[in-house]
Amino acid sequence: MVGYDPASPAAALTTEEAALAGSAAGMVTRAIISPLDVIKIRFQLQIEKVSWRNRQGKYWGLWQATRCIMTEEGLPAFWKGHIPAQLLSVCYGAVQFASFEALTELVHKKTPYNSQTPGVHFICGGLAACSATVACQPLDTLRTRFAAQGEPKIYRLQFFFYNILKKLLEPKDTKSKGGLHSLISGSCAGVISKTITYPFDLIKKRLQVGGFEEARMKFGQVRTYHGFVDCVVRIGREEGLRGFFKGLSPSLLKAALSTGFTFFWYEFFINAIVSLKSS
């Protein structure tokens, strides 16, 4: 189980161990899901509708975008900005998981609340995500700009949903921490949390490419936004409510794979660390 568990027979994780496992999980997961992330960012930044019925923009569907990027930019384009993306994943995974483990342990030791309850996981998960976002924001901006350019040349709530879903899926008569449960629970948690927070992710991506308009010209219309409120108002006025959910399909697929694999690999590396310590 992710988070401090006083009932666990194993010794509590140190901050360094949680950071190491989180970094490794983020690194492996990033290499797998990078193509979906590139497509998601391209959809998010497109002003024109992303619709196969009304084909206004450069991209109008998941498979069409995949073929278009492959034809025009080649296979390596799906890993554009991979170095800052890997640094982002390593940094984010380390800060997020280390913060979450430390916060849940602090709650257990310093308050009367149970560290394994959904409410505690929701609050600690939010704080851990905020810490990771602040720490990794420069890398996230770099990653977005690399992925957004053609040729020539990152709010999560998933800890809350993950632990609820894993408890529901885990058999009552076993203490097994199976990787399959982690993968399924993480995937479902990723889809739920991404759907809830998606408009904020889209707004963040639009603001991150401010001042980068020249590199976006070949993709269609470009916009310059003057802050968060201006971005929200103009997207709502020009693109409608659906504009806040552009690229949701590849994003949900990416979220399912990303969050599922992140928790799967995190628990894999944690178990490996515990095994090495015990031996």
Q: Is residue 67's pLDDT more than 90?
A: yes
Structure tokens at 159: 């800890």
User: For 22-53, how does the pLDDT look when each residue is reduced to its tens digit (9 = 90+)?
Assistant: 899 989 988 888 898 889 888 888 888 877 77
When mean pLDDT is compared across 97-101, 220-224, 225-229, 266-270, the lowest value belongs to 220-224
**Cβ–Cβ < 8 Å for 259, 187:** yes
DSSP string, 104-166: HHHHHHHSSS-TTSHHHHHHHHHHHHHHHHHHHHHHHHHHHHHHH--S------HHHHHHHHH
Mean pLDDT of the 156-173 span:
64
Pick from 96, 97, 170: which is nearest to 140 by CA? Answer: 96
User: For 107-156, how does the pLDDT look when each residue is reduced to its tens digit (9 = 90+)?
Assistant: 988 888 888 888 888 898 889 988 988 888 887 877 777 777 665 553 34
For 33, other C-beta atoms within 10 Å of its C-beta total: 22
What pLDDT band is residue 74 in, cutting at 50, 70 and 90?
A: very high
Between 240 and 173, where is the model more confident?
A: 240
When mean pLDDT is compared across 80-84, 191-195, 236-240, the lowest value belongs to 80-84
Instruction: Say what percent of the chain tops pLDDT 90.
Output: 11
What pLDDT band is residue 235 in, cutting at 50, 70 and 90?
A: very high
Mean pLDDT of the 171-197 span:
71
State the alpha helices, DSSP H only, in the chain: 15-45, 62-73, 82-110, 118-148, 158-169, 179-208, 228-239, 248-278
pTM assigned to the model: 0.66
pLDDT at 156: 43
User: For 192-234, how does the pLDDT look when each residue is reduced to its tens digit (9 = 90+)?
Assistant: 888 888 898 899 888 887 876 666 777 778 888 889 999 999 9
What pLDDT band is residue 166 in, cutting at 50, 70 and 90?
A: low
Whole-number mean pLDDT of the chain? 81
